Structure 1
Amino acid sequence: MTTDFTEALLSADRPVVMEIKPADGNGTDLLGGRPVAEVVAAYERAGAPCLSVVTGRWFGGDEQLLAEVAGRTRLPLLRKDFVTRTAHISRSRELGASAVLLTARLLTRDSLRALAEECLRQGLTPFVEVSDAHQAAAVPFGTESVVAVANKDITDRERGPADPPAGTALLPAVRATGTRCPVSASGIASPAQAAGLLRAGFAGLLIGTALLRGGHPDDWLAELDRIRHEPAVRT
């Protein structure tokens, strides 16, 4: 079970973790009255290899949202929340998660190790999010984890600006963890930006707000495909 999430992302034609969250960091509604079932179905039609489900209350989520999504899809699910105790790992598994977000910025080195170890013991993938090279150097069990670069600051509830291109500078530090699956997470605004991150060497992307605001993820992702497959321009 530990490989479900990682393998699904690595083998996908569109290596995008598509996110379900009721609101952005400023409290703006992202679902627009759409039922969760409709969003899940749209993501499945768009070829999502796996989904991220935000259960954090700052973004309008809760545990029931994860349970509902798990009841409507067989895709591997990431629980995205402030996970700080091993009991949260057990609960995530009960609710149907295949992976759990561990935010290195919010955890001590010992806590991060204990939580990642518990994820692996329970058959879940640690999805470790880092903000700098120091945090990347502290990632435990890197070969068995997804390691993601956070493009927004979680300490201000992701209300500030994002700078995904700057995250490419962290790729060497992320690869040094041993992960097979470096991911650029959040704040990815356009298909062109997404394509650039994949070309830079990220194996996957986590995108929520841009897909939810657009209302039609197929169109956004089709544009990503078009840009990705354009011939490289020679100078």
Structure 2
Amino acid sequence: MSDILTTIIERRLSDIEKLGLEFGCKIPKERSRKVHPFLNEKGLILEVKRASPSKGDIAPNLDSYQTALAYSESGARAISCLTEKNFFKGSLEDLMNVCKAVDDFEKAENDFPKKSPAVLRKDFLLSKEEIEVSFRAGADAVLLIARILTKETFLEMAEEVVRLGLTGLIEVRTDDDLEKLAFVMAHVDKNHFVCGVNSRDLSTFKIDLLRPVMMKEKIVKIMGSDARIIFESGVTTAECAASVGSLGFAGILLGEAAAKNPCMAKEFVHAFENSKKTENASFWLEYAESSWANRAKKTRLKICGFTRSEDAEFSESLGADFLGFVFSDGFARSVTRENRLENLLPILSNLKAKKVAVITETESSEAKKAIEFVKDGIFDVIQLHKIQYEKVNAEILNLPHYFATDNFDEYEKLASKGEMRVLLDLHGKSSENAFTERSKKNIVCEVKWLAGGITPQNAKEILERFKAELIDVSGGVENEGLVGIKDESKLRELCLACLA
């Protein structure tokens, strides 16, 4: 796949050469509006956006003034305006229209004072001169994408942000970006900067909702405990906004969902601003931090379907990260059969790997027992296996959990609800057919967790082909006819292939 970001930059440089840094627009010689503080309180940044490289036209007939007015009335803390013309169909005229709208909103007669949202110029800015143009056009903040800037240029632009009294929204996504961030923050006033992590890879435009969570603590170490960290891209539902809010982000940059449905902006604002930290959020914060720290070392491995304590203990000794136990009488591997659970319980507290309680619905006595085990800390997380999101109540969703599905459309739906990881379980199909089918799907959210048809023989190939973060194996480490009984030699072979 071609690098979309490189193409955007090349086109932009060509336009600057032909049209100049104002792109043919009539920008005032001097700024005429005051500078508004950018995201001093938790809230949403709603985006004026007509199109994108990944989605094509989103809202081609969007009126930037009216949209910004609607966003202001919805309670947005800030408004982001795309000014890139080739792929996002924006302009500096849009930016000035947005500034006029929020100023008109602030001046309108009312019974109580209104806070005008700050305005962010979102573009692929490449020089400090573009910061000055943005300032004159009325922007209160500008986007600085660390990936496309050298350290030296990045610092020059950051210094210009400070000189003009603006705010810089610095976007990072990689170790190299973090190094640049640390370099620049050592030379400027940090109070003029917030930091954003894009869940979308700008080379492929694929979404990974957990990426911003993974980088959160790294940014705090550079910018301090009061760092304002923004979750960028990928939020398309109010449920997802609430999920992100529970993870401690100061803001969300919300693009497509708001641009398509400005009338829903208030719902997004309410969901995010009223979100609270949950046990589920704590689980994913811990998982994200350890994943970032160990991302270059090994794949996560989940072994599932244990019925014997010795198999669970042996799997952990080989390095398995997750151990799965089925709580459903309809499955031959269920621990609720034949007094298996009673035999397993004594050893569970000694296991350091994450213990997963797998349920296939939520109302049976077996499922309720599993849920209580998670509440009590005996198990660490619930796997909601082939259960629809709408059938799970808030109490369960607040507990550590993830969903597993065998349906690609359901996978996308679950990710859109803010589920940080979804296990794609292509059960019963040969691994080759299953993963070929997966590769043909244009899945927006990256598939990171895989299950189904994985064996010690094909695990390494699957990992290399699909760059899986976690694979889940059950029958692949059992001998035929011995359901629920793990084979030590197969476990060793699997672990050697995955964890070496």
If the length of structure 1 is used for normalisation, what is the TM-score? 0.86
Aligned-residue identity in percent = 25
Matched, 1:76 2:118: yes
Q: Tell me the amino acid that sits aligned with residue 175 of structure 1.
A: V
CA distance in 2 between partners of 1:230 and 1:168 (Å): 14
CA distance in 2 between partners of 1:164 and 1:206 (Å): 13
- Cα 1:229–1:126 change in 2 (3 A) is closer
Q: C-alpha offsets along residues 128-186 of structure 1, whole Å, 9 cap, x if unaligned?
A: 00012331232123443110001112345xxx221122320100111122162111111
Query: Does the Cα contact within 8 Å between 1:19 and 1:52 map onto a contact in 2?
Result: yes
CA distance in 2 between partners of 1:177 and 1:143 (Å): 13
- Cα 1:121–1:215 change in 2 (3 A) is closer
- Cα 1:223–1:87 change in 2 (3 A) is closer
Matched, 1:136 2:178: yes
- Cα 1:16–1:162 change in 2 (3 A) is same
User: What SS is found at the alignment partner of 1:177?
Assistant: helix
- 1:59 is displaced (CA, Å) by 0.5
Q: Tell me the amino acid that sits aligned with residue 67 of structure 2.
A: V
Q: C-alpha offsets along residues 96-147 of structure 1, whole Å, 9 cap, x if unaligned?
A: 0011100001011111111111111111111100012331232123443110
Aligned to 2:260: 213
- 1:201 is displaced (CA, Å) by 1.8
CA distance in 2 between partners of 1:28 and 1:82 (Å): 18
Q: State the structure with bigger RCO (CA 8 A, min sep 6), 1 or 2.
A: 1
CA distance in 1 between partners of 2:79 and 2:273 (Å): 22
Aligned to 1:177: 222
Query: Does the Cα contact within 8 Å between 1:104 and 1:112 map onto a contact in 2?
Result: yes
- 1:227 is displaced (CA, Å) by 7.3
- 1:28 is displaced (CA, Å) by 2.8
- Cα 1:70–1:29 change in 2 (3 A) is same
Query: Does the Cα contact within 8 Å between 2:44 and 2:252 map onto a contact in 1?
Result: yes
Q: C-alpha offsets along residues 167-209 of structure 1, whole Å, 9 cap, x if unaligned?
A: 2010011112216211111122222222222211211110010
Task: Compare 91-100 and 177-186 and name the one that shifted more.
Answer: 177-186
Of 83, 87, 105, the residue aligned with 2:147 is 105
Larger Rg: 2
Matched, 1:10 2:40: yes
Aligned to 2:213: 168
- 1:226 is displaced (CA, Å) by 9.2
Query: Does the Cα contact within 8 Å between 1:19 and 1:207 map onto a contact in 2?
Result: yes
Aligned to 2:78: 50
CA distance in 1 between partners of 2:36 and 2:262 (Å): 31
CA distance in 1 between partners of 2:97 and 2:210 (Å): 34
Q: Tell me the amino acid that sits aligned with residue 46 of structure 2.
A: M
User: What SS is found at the alignment partner of 1:59?
Assistant: coil
- Cα 1:26–1:100 change in 2 (3 A) is same
- Cα 1:229–1:27 change in 2 (3 A) is closer
Aligned to 1:67: 96
Query: Number of paired residues?
Result: 227
CA distance in 2 between partners of 1:171 and 1:68 (Å): 34
Q: C-alpha offsets along residues 1-20 of structure 1, whole Å, 9 cap, x if unaligned?
A: 77711xxx2325xx101110
User: What SS is found at the alignment partner of 1:11?
Assistant: coil
CA distance in 1 between partners of 2:101 and 2:273 (Å): 30
Q: Tell me the amino acid that sits aligned with residue 56 of structure 2.
A: T
Query: Does the Cα contact within 8 Å between 1:143 and 1:177 map onto a contact in 2?
Result: no
Matched, 1:191 2:238: yes
Query: Does the Cα contact within 8 Å between 2:35 and 2:165 map onto a contact in 1?
Result: yes
Aligned to 2:197: 149
CA distance in 1 between partners of 2:274 and 2:208 (Å): 20
- Cα 1:119–1:223 change in 2 (3 A) is closer
Q: Tell me the amino acid that sits aligned with residue 174 of structure 2.
A: D
Q: Where does the alignment leave 5 or more consecutive residues of structure 2 unmatched?
A: 1-33, 104-116, 280-394, 400-500
User: What SS is found at the alignment partner of 2:52?
Assistant: coil
CA distance in 1 between partners of 2:265 and 2:222 (Å): 33
Q: Tell me the amino acid that sits aligned with residue 179 of structure 2.
A: A
- 1:73 is displaced (CA, Å) by 1.1
User: What SS is found at the alignment partner of 1:134?
Assistant: helix
User: What SS is found at the alignment partner of 1:4?
Assistant: coil
Q: Tell me the amino acid that sits aligned with residue 81 of structure 2.
A: V
CA distance in 2 between partners of 1:162 and 1:24 (Å): 14
Q: C-alpha offsets along residues 27-59 of structure 1, whole Å, 9 cap, x if unaligned?
A: 633335342222112111210111100001220
Query: Does the Cα contact within 8 Å between 2:48 and 2:81 map onto a contact in 1?
Result: yes
